[in-house]
Amino acid sequence: MNTKELKKAVQKLHPKITKLVIDQIVTDTINTMRRGIVGGKLSLSGIGTYTIRHQKARTNGRNPKTGEKISVPAKNKVWFSSHMRLKAAVNEVK
């Protein structure tokens, strides 16, 4: 599901709310979630937790095109740990 599909799904659940209002609510929700993740941690009950993890610089990288060794700089990465209820729901889908 992408953002456009999410907005349509919310519109179906709340047909009395205008499309413009739903667009703004979904956009604001996504932006708030993004700020939470950038702030260090975002936990969504029943879904999982997003955290920031630091990845050290390394020198064993390779350019896939040329095979040349390259050094990869240190960076922060978003890490997601899924909640057990989400894992169970995903494994039930057939």
pLDDT tens profile 7-49: 999 999 999 999 999 999 999 999 999 999 999 899 999 999 9
Whether the full predicted model's pTM is greater than 0.75, yes or no, is no
DSSP 8-state symbol, 37? H
Take residue 77 and report the two structure tokens written for it.
Answer: 């990465």
Q: Is the pLDDT of residue 93 over 90?
A: no
> Using alpha carbons only, what angle is made at residue 31 by residues 83 and 81, rounded to the nearest 5 degrees?
20
Beginning with the edge strand found earlier in the chain, give each strand of the sheet holding 41-44 in spatial order: 41-44, 48-55, 75-82
